[in-house]
Structure 1
Amino acid sequence: MAEVIGPRLYCCCHCRNHVALHDDVISKSFQGRNSRAFLFSHAMNVMVGPKEDRQLLTGLHTVADVYCSDCHEVLGWKYERAYEETQKYKEGKFILEKSKIVKENW
């Protein structure tokens, strides 16, 4: 009988709070502030900070930093608005930095 394994998750590297599902990964080829980053369609157990305009590699965006709801570590950001038409697909999506998250159930 095969073991039942739960969904593959990403957790906060500091407190192991579950923050995203592997199934919600859109892309693994993004750049965060300090390391490579993943683009997720959803995130969980996070807090979203105040919105601010930020000049990123792909142009001007309105973003809000995303924090772990348990330990308050900054994990990445949420795209609130993209000003360039080619970047609109990012709106409402989450960037989580690879150095800030760890895998669980892999």
Structure 2
Amino acid sequence: MGQLFLISLEGKIYSCKHCQAHFAVSEDIISKAFHCKHGKAYLFNKVVNVTVGLKEERMMITGLHTVSDIFCVGCGSIVGWKYDSAHEKAQKYKEGKFILERFKVLGPDGSRYWLSHDAPVVGSDADDT
């Protein structure tokens, strides 16, 4: 599909659960307090080995945002989205940042995040409560 970049910080890497392509390191996590329709999601300052899809407007818990889905360059699976713009001033900090849906990636220790049957379906954005 595309060129894969390897991240050299051992033990702190988030990677694709399907093909193990490296996406990000834990040092680039801005917040672990995000939720999507499948459970937890993490906001990252930067990610690698993804391609960015088309921009679209999405109404999220915290308001209207322009976002683009992001896809693994190794296997093509959707792994999250990029915040292109936020329409509310308080949400501007998200612009240019990336969400990785936790159930779609392997954690730094190689662990998988399993969907809980109790996981609330709260939409595709931060839980501001």
TM-score by length of 1: 0.91
Code of the residue aligned with 1:74 in structure 2: it is I
One-letter amino acid of the counterpart of residue 24, structure 1: D
More strand by share: 1
Equivalent position of 1:63 in the other structure: 67
Is the counterpart of residue 42 in structure 1 residue 10 in structure 2? Answer: no
| Segments of 4+ moved more than 4 angstroms | none
SS in structure 2 opposite 1:96? Answer: strand
Q: Does 1:84 align with 2:88?
A: yes
Alignment of 1:1-106 (within 5 A): 6=10, 8-104=12-108
Q: CA deviation at 1:103?
A: 2.0
* One-letter amino acid matched to 1:37: A
Tell me if the contact between 2:26 and 2:108 (Cα under 8 Å) persists in the aligned partners.
no
- Cα distance, 1:7 vs. partner? 5.4
> Are the equivalent residues in 2 in contact too, given 1:6–1:105 (CA < 8 A)?
no
Q: How far 1:63 moved relative to its partner?
A: 0.0
CA shift at 1:12, angstroms? 0.5
SS in 1 for 2:107: strand
SS of corresponding position for 1:92: coil
Give, in whole Å, the separation in 1 of the partners of 2:25 and 2:51: 16
1:16-74 Cα deviation digits (max 9, x unpaired) = 00011111000001012322100000000000000000001110000000000010110
Unaligned runs of 5+ in 1: none
TM-score by length of 2: 0.75
The amino acid of 1:50's aligned partner reads L
Once residues 41 and 33 of structure 1 are traced to their aligned partners in structure 2, the CA distance between those partners, rounded to angstroms, is: 21
Aligned AA (1:36): K
Residue segments in structure 2 that go unaligned for 5+ positions in a row = 1-8, 111-129
